[in-house]
Amino acid sequence: MKTKRQEEESGEGEDNVKRQKLLEQSTSPSPSPSPSPSPPRLGFDNALLPLASYDDDDDEEEDDGERRGAGGVRIGNNDGRVEKNGYKDGSEYDDGDEDDDEHNEKGVSQGKRNRVVELRRDCPYLDTVNRQVLDFDFEKFCSVSLSNLNVYACLVCGKYYQGRGQKSHAYTHSLEAGHHVYINLRTEKVYCLPDGYEINDSSLDDIRHVLNPRFTKEQVEELDRKKQWSRALDGSDYLPGMVGLNNINETDFVNVTIQSLMRVTPLRNFFLIPKNYQHSKSPLVHRFGELTRKIWHARNFKGQVSPHEFLQAVMKASKKHFRIGAQSDPVEFMSWLLNTLHADLRSSKRNNSIIHQCFQGELEVVKEIHSKHVS
């Protein structure tokens, strides 16, 4: 029989043999793997127009190799040329689309793929657009998810839906209701769902102007010199700048203040051009500017404007001191509004703003001394 010491020595010898074999295997050269073939280059032969690129917001299963060659070079143009980084002469690159907002919120933006969307001038569903039901005066929230990220308006029924990917509410609505034309409320781009192509048609420009009214400096200067009546879709006539404001549950104190401020020409001209206050991060400033442009817009679909978005900004800025459903003093509200706008617009270097220029006055005190005539 082996003693305990002999068993330990034999075990150590076996371990040394195993270590020697492993060392020889690790030092021996391994066969080099054969290089993988580069993916083939494909092309689109029957594209109607140049292709635009956008970041999709859904998890569609799509082979990325069909659109990209080796080294991140995009391929597949109308004429077989190679696009670098998705750009091509005459094509549009959708760099500012919001379709990735939901994914950014979840922290998975790194995994998104850049997809290609077709840009078309013709769409068989343009005759289904119903301008009578379009109302862009309310907050831009999805009617299903109540989210304000990546919201589209259905141009057939006027409702707001989020996203346009295959798992989005807008895509589902297009299949269930048969409504196919949608506009992104931020980028103003129009898409056809569920097909997914972008519509480039000048007949939709009037909708874009109602969604986001815009003025040039020349137009602002001509407002008071050339007053012209406009006609709404219902046939009624209205004069830009003289439109009515909807009274939303005892908010007439807001309406009378807004109507009076719209008569102050320097203030109106300042807020008609967003570039003048683009440095401000105050939602109240931008909502007041949007309301000013809607009141003075000559291409509205209706003869009245709803200050709903502006009221929401007022409630938030005043911490619900002024709110919907509670009557307040117009003089108190005007004083608060002007002081808040001045604080949000003034620069850090100088205590000056358009509010200061229009309403800051000087007080002159004169002391009269009556002389007494002694008889």
**pLDDT more than 70, % of the chain:** 68
- The CA distance from 340 to 79, in Å, is 57
Angle, helices 308-317 vs 252-261, to 10°: value is 100
Q: Residue range 358-367: average pLDDT?
A: 84
pLDDT given for residue 98 in this prediction: 45
Query: Is residue 225's pLDDT more than 70?
Result: yes
pLDDT at 175: 95
The pLDDT score that the predictor gives to residue 59 is: 36
Q: What is the mean pLDDT of the chain?
A: 76
CA distance 203 to 123: 11
Per-residue pLDDT tens over the stretch 100-132: 444 444 444 444 445 678 898 889 999 999 999
Query: Which residue type, as a one-letter code, is found at position 335?
Result: S
Model confidence at 262, in pLDDT bands (50, 70, 90)? very high
Burial of residue 280 (CB within 10 Å: 0-12, 13-18, 19+) is middle
Tell me what pLDDT residue 234 has.
87
- Could you tell me where the DSSP H helices lie in the chain? 4-27, 101-106, 169-177, 205-211, 217-221, 252-261, 265-271, 283-295, 308-317, 330-345, 354-359
Lowest-pLDDT range of 93-97, 115-119, 350-354: 93-97
Q: What are the pLDDT digits (tens) for 334-350?
A: 999 999 999 999 876 67
pLDDT, position 200 = 92
**What integer pLDDT is reported at residue 21 of this predicted model?**
59
Burial 158-179 (b: 16+ CB within 10 A, else e): bbbbbbbbbebbbbbbbeeeeb
pLDDT single digits (tens) 4-39? 455 555 555 566 655 565 555 544 544 444 444 444
Instruction: Note the pLDDT tens digit of each residue in 305-336.
Output: 999 999 999 999 999 999 888 889 999 999 99
In this prediction, residue 224 has a pLDDT band, given cuts at 50, 70 and 90, of confident
> Is 97's pLDDT higher than 70?
no
Stretch 239-243: mean pLDDT, rounded? Answer: 90
Predicted confidence at residue 366, as pLDDT, reads: 86
Residue 171 has pLDDT above 90, yes or no: yes
> What single DSSP character describes residue 4?
H
pTM > 0.75: yes or no: no
pLDDT band at 79 (very low <50, low <70, confident <90, very high): very low
Given pLDDT bands bounded at 50, 70 and 90, which one contains residue 198? very high
CA distances from 206 to 131, 211, 237 (A): 10, 9, 17
- pLDDT band for 78, please (50, 70, 90 cuts): very low
**pLDDT confidence of residue 347:** 73
The average pLDDT across 185-208 equals 93
Mean pLDDT of 262-287: 93
pLDDT for residue 274 is more than 80 = yes
List CB contacts of 371: < 8 A, sequence separation 6 or more. Answer: none
